[in-house]
Amino acid sequence: MKMEHDLHMTKGEEETSYFKNSRLQEKALVETKPVLQKIVMEMCVDLLHPTMTIVDLGCSSSDNTLFFVSNVIKAVSYHLEKFSGHPTELQFFLNDLPGNDFNRVFQSLQRFRSSIDMDHKGEPIPAFYIAGLPSSYYTRLLPRRSVHLFHSSYCLHWRSRLPDGLEGKKRPYPNEGNIGIGATTRPCVVKMYQEQFQKDMLLFLQLRHEELVANGQMVLTFLGRKHDDVYSASLNRLYGLLSQSVQSLVEEGLVEKEKLDSFNLPVYGPSMDDVKALVDQS
Amino acid sequence: MKMEHDLHMTKGEEETSYFKNSRLQEKALVETKPVLQKIVMEMCVDLLHPTMTIVDLGCSSSDNTLFFVSNVIKAVSYHLEKFSGHPTELQFFLNDLPGNDFNRVFQSLQRFRSSIDMDHKGEPIPAFYIAGLPSSYYTRLLPRRSVHLFHSSYCLHWRSRLPDGLEGKKRPYPNEGNIGIGATTRPCVVKMYQEQFQKDMLLFLQLRHEELVANGQMVLTFLGRKHDDVYSASLNRLYGLLSQSVQSLVEEGLVEKEKLDSFNLPVYGPSMDDVKALVDQS
């Protein structure tokens, strides 16, 4: 799998598209809205720069993409009324892998601008500019000390790549019958995923640290697990069901067994302790 | 015609695509390369900011899009060798209308990065970041005082819209038989085009002035005419041939006469004096 090109949500507006199947992700955005509002308010007060640069990492291409943008605009508008000062301009960067359907997002911008104008009729709103940023967030994305706020929702459980031991089509397949961490995944494979998570997350924190201004902030929501037991993660149960479905297709002769055995998803949901340990280490 | 969505170069890679028919535009880029290099060199010396922000207006989606980016990187690399100081990071914004095929440009970025690395093997190159900016350049695109260099090649002869008198399908059609300024275009229609050009260009200069940093620069190449006679512009001869072709289709009954009579292109090629007068006025 070539991550940069092949890893993206299902395009279009069909029944099986991400556009029609992103309610869960929307729920997460609604739930984290108060946190986002609080952070934005604090930044409005603290920052002296007249432009606030905001980056959404893993923006995808559904209505959720602009729901985040609209939440920030609302929070800043509230500030404008209250303090009537800076910051007056917002520069948004919507980031995702180059395989994401940016054309779709861009073509909805005019409608989005009209809806913002309608929602804020008569109230002052900050000038805002929206750009697309097509690159993996496991690389540098923007100039040094240029970003005030990073946001990412339901995205950082995706790894930058498959661990070395799982990549390629060499027999024996270490994770036979699974497409991620499943009930029969061996501890050595779990360790591979964990090490990839650690490498990725440390790299991510280091890159964003270089890009953030002093006092910059990050709001990161991603799938993990509540308990230490790595097999208990809801993410694993989800992909466990998916691998069972593929297993049925194998049994019916519709998919080759080898395809299931060799295929793995670059995904890992860490525990709170996993994340805390890495933040402390970074 | 909805400019924001409908006005774009022909997509894809077919024989009739812009991708396969942009040699003339490439020639213009090659010819203006020395000017660009000189400007970039001067800016490298003058600017104290560690990041240079560069915007290509009307980037379209052929290889030319990244040819410009590569020219700037080359010019700055030369500077890095010579002065080994700032600026060390380049932020590119590729701008076009939202109907442009940004997905195509974004998906070619990985190959582009590899080719830059190959071309500069062993030499220091500045870190660079590329974003897409989907919006008409007859609106504000970026925050106040944030851009060091604006570039636009073969694009500014496009108007923001059709003049009021040419828009819509009201009979009698004032520019019957033509799709732009043709041999039989009446002086009143020429005047409409000229007035639209003046409005657009003044607006363009005002918007870019707000976005440029102090000492910021612009390199703008666009189609115009050498002489005062508005009918003599090569742009008009080009579209004259096109309207003759459509006329043939009308005569063969393949296109309705009304469609030709009511259709006009939002394009006007000014003389040097036209442009100078507006720059002085702005």
Which one of A139, A155, A171 terminates a domain? A155
User: What is the three-class DSSP state of B182?
Assistant: coil
**Assigned token pair, A90:** 């917002």
Phi, psi of A136, deg, nearest 5: -70, 140
Which of B223 and A128 is assigned the larger pLDDT? A128
The number of residues in chain A equals 282
**Assigned token pair, B271:** 């003389």
Q: Quick one: A138 and A179 in the same domain?
A: no
Contact list, B132 vs chain A (CB under 8 Å): 102, 106, 131-134
Query: Hey, what amino acid is at A210?
Result: E
Residue B48 within any structural domain of the chain: yes
Residue B132 within any structural domain of the chain: yes
Residue B61 within any structural domain of the chain: yes
Q: Does residue A44 register a pLDDT over 90?
A: no
Which one of A155, A175, A197 terminates a domain? A155
**Assigned token pair, B7:** 């006005």
Asked if the Cβ–Cβ distance from A89 to B144 is below 8 Å, we say yes
Contact list, A144 vs chain B (CB under 8 Å): 50-51, 89
Domain residues for the domain of B194 are 159-213+225-282
Residue A170 near residue A132 (C-beta atoms within 8 A)? no
Predicted confidence band of residue B246 (pLDDT cuts 50, 70, 90): confident
Q: Does residue B134 register a pLDDT over 90?
A: yes
Torsion (CA) A177, A182, A183, A187 in degrees, nearest 10: 100
Q: Does residue A84 register a pLDDT over 60?
A: no
Amino acid B281: pLDDT: 85
Residue A122 within any structural domain of the chain: yes
Q: Using CA coordinates, name the residue in chain A closest to B51.
A: A143
- Of residues B32, B92, B99, B148, the one with CA closest to residue A102: B99
Q: Quick one: A185 and A255 in the same domain?
A: yes
Residue B124 near residue B81 (C-beta atoms within 8 A)? yes
Residue B220 within any structural domain of the chain: no
Residue B266 within any structural domain of the chain: yes
Residue B61 near residue B102 (C-beta atoms within 8 A)? yes
Distance, CA of B90 to CA of A122 (rounded, Å):
38
Q: Quick one: B8 and B99 in the same domain?
A: yes
Distance, CA of B21 to CA of B16 (rounded, Å):
7
Distance, CA of B104 to CA of B20 (rounded, Å):
14
Asked if the Cβ–Cβ distance from B132 to A132 is below 8 Å, we say yes
Enumerate the β-bridge partners of residue B217: B149
Of the ranges A55-59, A94-98, A231-235, B80-84, which one carries the lowest mean pLDDT score? B80-84
Distance, CA of B57 to CA of B68 (rounded, Å):
11
Amino acid A182: pLDDT: 85
Phi, psi of B8, deg, nearest 5: -155, 165
Q: Does residue B141 register a pLDDT over 80?
A: yes
Q: Quick one: A196 and A61 in the same domain?
A: no
Amino acid A79: pLDDT: 75
Mean pLDDT of all residues belonging to chain A: 85
Predicted confidence band of residue A93 (pLDDT cuts 50, 70, 90): very high
Strand ranges in chain B using DSSP code E only, listed in sequence order? 51-57, 89-96, 127-134, 147-153, 212-221
Can you tell me the mean pLDDT for A267-282? 88
Asked if the Cβ–Cβ distance from A99 to B107 is below 8 Å, we say yes
Residue from the list B129, B134, B141 with its beta carbon closest to the beta carbon of A142: B129
Distance, CA of B112 to CA of A167 (rounded, Å):
26
Q: Quick one: A164 and A66 in the same domain?
A: no
Q: Quick one: B204 and B244 in the same domain?
A: yes
Counted across chains A and B, CB pairs separated by less than 8 A come out at 85
Mutation pick from A129, A140, A210, A211 vs chain B, by most beta carbons of B within 10 Å, is A129
Residue B218 within any structural domain of the chain: no
Question: Which of A7-21, A249-263, B134-148 is most confident?
Answer: B134-148
Q: Quick one: A20 and A83 in the same domain?
A: yes
Q: Does residue A49 register a pLDDT over 80?
A: no
Which one of B115, B131, B155 terminates a domain? B155
Mean pLDDT of all residues belonging to chain B: 85
Q: Which helix (H) or strand (E) holds A273?
A: helix A272-281
Give the count of domains, chain B.
Answer: 2
- Nearest-CA distance B131 → chain A (Å): 5
Distance, CA of A114 to CA of A79 (rounded, Å):
21
Predicted confidence band of residue B224 (pLDDT cuts 50, 70, 90): confident
Residue B80, domain CATH: 3.40.50.150
Chain B interface includes A12 (CB < 8 A): no
Distance, CA of B82 to CA of B282 (rounded, Å):
37
Task: Encode A9-47: b = buried (16+ Cβ within 10 Å), e = exposed.
Answer: bebeeeeebbbeebeebeebbeebeeebbebbbebbeeb
Q: Quick one: A142 and A176 in the same domain?
A: no
Contact list, B93 vs chain A (CB under 8 Å): 131
Distance, CA of B72 to CA of B76 (rounded, Å):
6
Q: Quick one: B137 and B179 in the same domain?
A: no
Chain A interface includes B129 (CB < 8 A): yes
Asked if the Cβ–Cβ distance from A106 to B102 is below 8 Å, we say yes
Q: Using CA coordinates, name the residue in chain A closest to B52.
A: A143
3-class SS shares of chain B: helix, strand, coil, % to 5: 45, 15, 40
Q: Does residue A139 register a pLDDT over 90?
A: yes
Asked if the Cβ–Cβ distance from A135 to B102 is below 8 Å, we say no
Amino acid A81: pLDDT: 64
Q: Does residue A157 register a pLDDT over 60?
A: yes
Task: Encode B167-176: b = buried (16+ Cβ within 10 Å), e = exposed.
Answer: eeeeeebbbb
Q: Quick one: B40 and B147 in the same domain?
A: yes
Can you tell me the mean pLDDT for A141-166? 90
Residue A221 within any structural domain of the chain: no
Q: Quick one: B181 and B167 in the same domain?
A: yes
Q: Quick one: A124 and A165 in the same domain?
A: no
- Nearest-CA distance A101 → chain B (Å): 7
Which of A17 and A164 is assigned the larger pLDDT? A164
Amino acid B64: pLDDT: 81
**Assigned token pair, B28:** 């213009």
Distance, CA of A226 to CA of A109 (rounded, Å):
38
Amino acid A75: pLDDT: 86
DSSP string, B78-125: HHHHHH--S--EEEEEEEE-TTS-HHHHHHTHHHHHHHHHHHTTTS--
Can you tell me the mean pLDDT for A16-45? 75
